[in-house]
């Protein structure tokens, strides 16, 4: 993506509006996972070292356009203090006279964090007037919120009509480079792994990937719709009846293109999600009253073998209900197989990232995306509003 980057901006003595994704989980006012905060720290530090003042903006949760104290960014500001090792002032709002006064009073090297953008309904409405008010707070714009780049919101899209230049931050650059490498010039063979619950959530992605990948491994709940389309009895496993024909067409399309579409050959089944344990059975042996909740050990072997020789791997979606201990083995084993391969691996989606972290192999993954929805939409070939809004590189 040929977009202007923060490195191409003259930031000395300028106020820079940095749109970040600081949407971190909280527990009683304490940040429980600061991954997204740490991801944007390099961009903030880069701007500060260049002599800029940083006006930092983000959403948090879904306050539905109203002020809600439980969604205040105060805990975020407190965590940023320790990550940046400097004071971070929290503005009383993200717009308004008091916030504008505080922004203009800041000196080089200082950081002002705006209060939750979504306290105003105009943010999600991509309201032009609200965007104009945000733009008055700074003299240039940097978007480092790739995880929110698929949203046409005021602080992501409309603001760039009033605040130029608009550049990509360091994290945004990394995301676009890693994902662009998959779509534009991947080292072959390219293997995609898709999991998660529903086929319908990833139909566009599957269709887009079939023209690019050498093999496609499908696990998780979505695999049972494919298996059912082949005539397998899958018990009470998750199946989308409306998509059986689509699954059959996808299998036919894969065959025509010479793409190896690999499905599970066994599954860990149980009576339900609350079962204390499951047992592995062949796909043809799933009892009528039970459901598949993880891929089985033979499928792990099959998927691992399919990764042999891969030069690039992209993975989104767990292989089962991995957050439940009895049904985590398949996802965790696959995470270790991906990490142990010689391929450049890109992983995205909260559950998938959590799985590689739980497996203890996150540091062995080539690139871990901070995004979920934006990750999928980019791989589907869609144009992301937050990327399109950035200034083209010279």
Res. 288 pLDDT band, cuts 50 70 90? very high
Active-site choice (3, 36, 102, 202):
36
Q: Are 50 and 172 in contact (CB under 8 A)?
A: no
Task: Work out the average pLDDT over 170-191.
Answer: 91
Task: Work out the average pLDDT over 99-126.
Answer: 97
pLDDT at 247: 94
Active-site choice (198, 298, 311, 382):
198
- Architecture of the domain spanning 178-379: 3-Layer(aba) Sandwich (3.40)
pTM for this prediction? 0.89
Q: Are 140 and 14 in contact (CB under 8 A)?
A: yes
Question: What digits encode the pLDDT tens for the residues 81-96?
Answer: 999 999 999 999 999 9
Three-state secondary structure along 65-125? CCCCHHHCCHHHHHHHHHHHCCCEEECCCCCCHHHHHHHHHCCCCCEEECCCHHHCHHHHC
Residue 188 annotated as catalytic: no
Question: What digits encode the pLDDT tens for the residues 326-343?
Answer: 999 999 999 999 999 999
Task: Work out the average pLDDT over 299-321.
Answer: 96
From edge to edge, which strands make up the β-sheet containing 260-262? 260-262, 215-218, 190-194, 312-316, 344-347, 367-368
Measured distance CA(221)–CA(192) in Å, rounded: 16
Task: Work out the average pLDDT over 274-296.
Answer: 96
Q: Do domains 6-170 and 178-379 have the same CATH topology?
A: yes
Task: Work out the average pLDDT over 116-142.
Answer: 98
Task: Work out the average pLDDT over 269-287.
Answer: 95
pLDDT greater than 90 at residue 198 = no
Active-site choice (350, 366, 372, 381):
350
Q: Are 127 and 154 in contact (CB under 8 A)?
A: yes
Question: What digits encode the pLDDT tens for the residues 221-266?
Answer: 999 999 999 999 999 999 999 999 999 999 999 999 999 999 999 9
Domain boundaries, the chain: 6-170, 178-379
Residue 373 annotated as catalytic: yes
Q: For the chain, list the strands marked E by DSSP.
A: 15-19, 26-27, 30-31, 53-57, 88-90, 111-113, 140-143, 166-168, 190-194, 215-218, 260-262, 266-270, 279-282, 291-295, 312-316, 344-347, 367-368
Tell the CATH topology of 6-170: Rossmann fold (3.40.50)
pLDDT greater than 60 at residue 183 = yes
pLDDT at 1: 57
Active-site choice (65, 109, 366, 373):
373
Question: What digits encode the pLDDT tens for the residues 14-54?
Answer: 999 999 999 999 999 999 989 899 999 999 999 999 999 99
CA-to-CA separations, 170 to 44, 149, 307, 392, in angstroms, rounded: 9, 14, 31, 16
Question: What digits encode the pLDDT tens for the residues 3-20?
Answer: 999 999 999 999 999 999
Burial class (CB within 10 angstroms; exposed 0-12, middle 13-18, buried 19+) of 92: exposed
Residue 36 annotated as catalytic: yes
């Amino acid at each position: 993506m040929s977009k202007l980057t923060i490195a191409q901006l003259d930031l000395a003595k300028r106020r820079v509006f940095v749109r970040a994704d600081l949407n971190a989980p909280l527990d009683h006012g304490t940040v429980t996972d600061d991954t997204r905060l740490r991801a944007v720290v390099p961009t903030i530090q880069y701007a500060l070292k260049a002599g800029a003042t940083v006006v930092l903006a983000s959403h948090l949760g879904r306050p539905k356009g109203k002020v809600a104290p439980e969604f205040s960014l105060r805990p975020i500001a407190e965590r940023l203090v320790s990550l940046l090792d400097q004071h971070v002032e929290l503005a009383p709002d993200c717009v308004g006279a008091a916030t504008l006064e505080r922004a203009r009073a800041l000196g080089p090297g200082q950081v002002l964090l705006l209060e939750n953008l979504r306290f105003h309904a105009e943010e999600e409405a991509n309201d032009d007037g609200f965007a104009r008010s945000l733009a008055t707070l700074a003299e240039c714009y940097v978007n480092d919120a790739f995880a929110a780049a698929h949203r046409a919101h005021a602080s992501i899209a409309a603001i760039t009509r009033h605040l130029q230049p608009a550049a990509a931050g360091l994290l945004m650059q990394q995301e676009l480079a890693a994902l662009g490498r998959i779509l534009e010039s991947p080292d072959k063979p390219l293997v995609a792994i898709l999991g998660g619950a529903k086929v319908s959530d990833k139909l566009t992605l599957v269709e887009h990937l079939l023209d690019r990948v050498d093999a496609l491994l499908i696990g998780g709940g979505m695999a049972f719709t494919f298996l059912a389309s082949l005539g397998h009895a899958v018990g009470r496993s998750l199946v989308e009846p409306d998509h059986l024909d689509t699954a059959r067409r996808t299998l036919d399309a894969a065959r025509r293109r010479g793409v190896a579409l690999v499905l599970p050959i066994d599954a860990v089944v149980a009576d339900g999600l609350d079962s204390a344990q499951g047992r592995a059975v062949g796909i043809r042996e799933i009892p009528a009253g039970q459901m598949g909740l993880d891929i089985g050990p033979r499928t792990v072997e099959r998927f691992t073998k399919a990764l042999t020789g891969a030069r690039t791997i992209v993975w989104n979606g767990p292989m089962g209900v991995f957050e439940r201990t009895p049904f985590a083995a398949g996802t965790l084993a696959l995470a270790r197989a991906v990490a142990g391969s010689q391929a450049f691996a890109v992983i995205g989606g909260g559950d998938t990232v959590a799985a590689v972290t739980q497996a203890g192999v996150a540091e062995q993954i080539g690139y871990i995306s901070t995004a979920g929805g934006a990750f999928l939409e980019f791989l589907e070939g869609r144009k992301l509003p937050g990327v399109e809004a950035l200034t083209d590189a010279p």
